Structure 1
Amino acid sequence: MLINTFLLVLGITIGCHCQEQTPLQKVVKSGDKFNGNLYKELINAQKGNLVYSGLSANLVLSLLTSGAKGDTKNELLLGLNLVQNDEERNNGYKQLSSSLNVNSKDLKVLSANKIYPAKGFPIEESFKNTAVNDYQSEVENLDYQNKEQAAGTINKWVEQKTNNKIQNLINPDKLKPETKLVLANTLYFSGKWARPFDFTRKGMFHVTESQSKEVNFLQGTFEAKYRHCGFYQAKFLELDFQGGNISMTFVLPDNRNGLQKMEDDFEGVSEVHAMKSGNVEISVPKFKQETEIDFVPVFKKMGIQKIFTNGADLSGVSSKQNLKVDAIPQKTFIDVTETGVEAAAATGVHGVPTSLIKPDFIFNAESPFLYYIRERNSGAVLFAGRYVN
Structure 2
Amino acid sequence: MKKNILCVLVLLSTSISSDKVGNFAFSLYKELEKKDSISFVVSPSSIYSALFMACLGAGNGTKKEILEVLSIDHIPNMPADFFVSSSPSILQANSVWLQEEYRIKDTYLSSLSFFFENEVLRANFSEYPNKSRLKINSWIAESTNNKVQSLLKPNDISRRTRLVLVNALYMLSNWKKAFERSKTASKDFFLLNGTIKLPTMHLRDRMIFFEDGHLKSISLELEDSLLFTVILPNSNTMMRYVESNLDISYFNLILKSSKFYDVDFSMPKINLDYSISLKDHLISMGVNQAFIDGKANFSNIRDENDLTISDVLHQSTLSLDEEGVEASSATAVVIRVKTTAKKKRKEFKANRPFIFIISDQKNNLIHFMGKFSG
| TM-score between both structures, scaled by the size of structure 2 | 0.88
Quote the residue 1:203 is aligned against.
187
Written as runs of structure 1 = structure 2, the 5 A alignment for 1:248-327 is 248-267=228-247, 268-271=249-252, 272-310=255-293, 311-327=295-311
Quote the residue 1:125 is aligned against.
106
Quote the residue 1:347 is aligned against.
none
SS in 2 for 1:84: coil
Tell me the CA shift for residue 249 of structure 1: 0.4
Q: Does 1:50 align with 2:40?
A: yes
**In structure 1, how many angstroms separate the alpha carbons of the residues matched to 2:188 and 2:344?**
22
Match of 1:366 among 338, 351, 355: 351
Summarize the Cα distance change of 1:120–1:135 in structure 2 as closer, same or farther, 3 Å threshold.
Answer: same
Summarize the Cα distance change of 1:339–1:181 in structure 2 as closer, same or farther, 3 Å threshold.
Answer: same
Quote the residue 1:246 is aligned against.
226
For each residue in 1:33-60, what CA deviation from the matched residue of structure 2 results, as whole angstroms up to 9, or x when unmatched? 1111111111122231011111111111
Query: Structure 1 regions of 5+ residues with no counterpart?
Result: 7-19, 344-357
**In structure 2, how many angstroms separate the alpha carbons of the residues matched to 1:21 and 1:375?**
26
Q: Does 1:155 align with 2:137?
A: yes
Match of 1:85 among 74, 80, 88: 74
SS in 2 for 1:152: helix
Quote the residue 1:97 is aligned against.
83
SS in 2 for 1:219: strand
Quote the residue 2:115 is aligned against.
134
Quote the residue 1:213 is aligned against.
196
Tell me the CA shift for residue 201 of structure 1: 1.3
| Contact 1:147 1:173 survives alignment (8 Å) | no
**In structure 2, how many angstroms separate the alpha carbons of the residues matched to 1:40 and 1:2?**
26
Tell me the CA shift for residue 321 of structure 1: 4.8
Which residue identity does 2:22 align to in structure 1? D
Tell me the CA shift for residue 277 of structure 1: 0.9
Q: Does 1:3 align with 2:27?
A: no
Quote the residue 2:29 is aligned against.
39
| Contact 1:285 1:365 survives alignment (8 Å) | yes
**In structure 1, how many angstroms separate the alpha carbons of the residues matched to 2:138 and 2:90?**
19
| Contact 1:27 1:92 survives alignment (8 Å) | no
Q: Does 1:383 align with 2:368?
A: yes
Tell me the CA shift for residue 176 of structure 1: 1.3
Tell me the CA shift for residue 303 of structure 1: 1.6
Match of 1:73 among 54, 63, 68: 63
| Contact 2:291 2:309 survives alignment (8 Å) | yes
Structure 1 segments (4+ residues) deviating >6 Å: none
| Contact 2:291 2:310 survives alignment (8 Å) | yes
| Contact 1:142 1:150 survives alignment (8 Å) | yes
Summarize the Cα distance change of 1:235–1:312 in structure 2 as closer, same or farther, 3 Å threshold.
Answer: same
Which residue identity does 1:190 align to in structure 2? L
Match of 2:54 among 51, 64, 68: 64
| Contact 1:118 1:141 survives alignment (8 Å) | yes
Quote the residue 1:338 is aligned against.
322
| TM-score between both structures, scaled by the size of structure 1 | 0.85
| Contact 2:14 2:76 survives alignment (8 Å) | no
Tell me the CA shift for residue 175 of structure 1: 1.2
Tell me the CA shift for residue 359 of structure 1: 5.8
Which residue identity does 2:246 align to in structure 1? F
Summarize the Cα distance change of 1:38–1:22 in structure 2 as closer, same or farther, 3 Å threshold.
Answer: farther
Quote the residue 1:228 is aligned against.
211
Query: Structure 2 regions of 5+ residues with no counterpart?
Result: 328-342
**In structure 2, how many angstroms separate the alpha carbons of the residues matched to 1:46 and 1:234?**
21
SS in 1 for 2:314: strand
Tell me the CA shift for residue 84 of structure 1: 2.3
**In structure 2, how many angstroms separate the alpha carbons of the residues matched to 1:201 and 1:372?**
24
Match of 1:172 among 131, 139, 154: 154
**In structure 1, how many angstroms separate the alpha carbons of the residues matched to 2:304 and 2:122?**
17
Percent of pairs with identical residues: 22
Quote the residue 2:339 is aligned against.
none
Which residue identity does 1:85 align to in structure 2? H
SS in 1 for 2:151: coil
SS in 2 for 1:332: strand
| Contact 1:262 1:269 survives alignment (8 Å) | no
Quote the residue 1:353 is aligned against.
none
| Contact 2:79 2:114 survives alignment (8 Å) | no
| Contact 1:96 1:378 survives alignment (8 Å) | no
